[in-house]
Structure 1
Amino acid sequence: MTLVWAEIAKLGQWQPLDSEEHIHPGELTGSTTSDERDQGHVDRLTRSILHHGYSPERHGQLGLNLTDHGENIYHHASGIETYPEDHQPHEHLLQALQDAGYGEVPVHIHDQQSDPDGEPAPRYYHGTTESDLEHVRPNHSTRGTFGPATHAPGYAYATGLESAKDYAERAADQHGGRPRVFEVHPRGPVEDDPKFDAAGNNRGNNLDDKRSRHGFSVVGEVPLGHDEEY
């Protein structure tokens, strides 16, 4: 057992690990194609990096997210030249660093993998009526799914297995369709989903609900045994 994991074991529970490493942009892989990126954002950042040199405070900082299901880059921190309306700044920054031919840069590492000596990472689930789900993306509206309470914009949601089943059943009751539950894994840091919204309304969510600004990717669908009912 490594020293870091030994210290975690003393706490009696799994915790993500955060660190920073210098990594060459050419060793990192994004998840978008050139058609999906905004080339204007990429060109603007490339010119700035060539003119000023790369600076996390100016251009933002990449993060590398590690889970039991793989790794991905994400947007760890904004810089003064990060556009607020840019919904994939990490992809644009990575491409700009590569286009500028830049060398090693500081990358924040967010390790959400299971403890190699036995403590498993949390498993997350998403309840829905949507079929063929591949990603749970951040919701940029504030309308709540159930009742009058609101969501904070810019988050995607996941939860424990039983809560996901509950949400799937509620969605089917209110909107029709077949309840489905998908196991998902996070694409960046995860936090507790607040029980109350900014106006003090109980949002009707469950205590094990989580949210992330970076979304979740689907691992697979969980069989519910409801096929004969739909």
Structure 2
Amino acid sequence: MSLTWSGLPAREAAFTEHMTPEQMMSGPAGKVVHQAKSPMGAMLQLGSAAQKVGPLTDSIRQHGYQPEVHGHLHLTRRDDGYEAFHVSGHEEPGHPLHGVPAKQAGTALVRALHESGHSAPAPVHVEHVELKKRPVVQHEEEPEPDFPGKGVTYYHGTIGEHGTDDAPDHIEPASAHGQGVTFQHMTSPDHAYATTSERDAWDYAGKKFDRQGTEGHHVPKVYEVRATGPVEADPRWDDERGMSRNTNENDHRSKHPFEVVREVDPPEHIRDFYYSRHYNRD
């Protein structure tokens, strides 16, 4: 069999590599060729072109691989690692791969080279393709809504177990946690309370200890907290009864919980007075 074509596209040497069939089969595009060697793989990868691999293999085995006769091999390499063979020069009616799409023809030709026992390097026109990168969309984060008390450092005084890390995540209004109000005549169950004074917070922690913490291993504790919603100054007068609620001017309240930031180390006078009985047991 002797086939010739004219007017084939010229390829510069700078774009040509010489590869053996083994090297062709070892790359990513070679995986498709391997799949096309089984009956089912041939049906999936080559379709009706699978029956044309035999005559092409015989021609290469008999005459050696001749690009101008058997077709010019091309290899597309993308920068994401994808590779694919295709063929040019197989458009003439007498060519075994006539009518086969270029990509399927490339798989068929590499398979024929491999099965024919051809071992010499063959010219392969390599095209490197750089994929267009999609622009990274920058989503601007919406600023958190502003509210009175946002960013202010608050403190909340309470009691807790000595020597344990029992800090809650949030200081909730009494109506939310369902444990009742410690100072019923001074606080509303619909609000959570905090103060901007660390000293006042320790005073409140001491008062709660005197009311509820004398039994067991409770000690006064103070947490640094921050607001999660609008905060207002705690009213110092009870409008209904016309009397002072005996609160401090630094006291604040919110219908939203306060988020706990950390537990505050007790000052020396608190530690000496309230913690001594626990420390003496250690």
The TM-score range, normalised by the shorter chain, is: 0.3 to 0.5
Larger RCO (CA under 8 A, 6+ residues apart): 1
TM-score (norm 2): 0.37
Normalized per residue, the structure richer in helix is 2
Q: What is the TM-score when the length of structure 1 is the normalising length?
A: 0.45
Largest Rg, 1 or 2 = 2
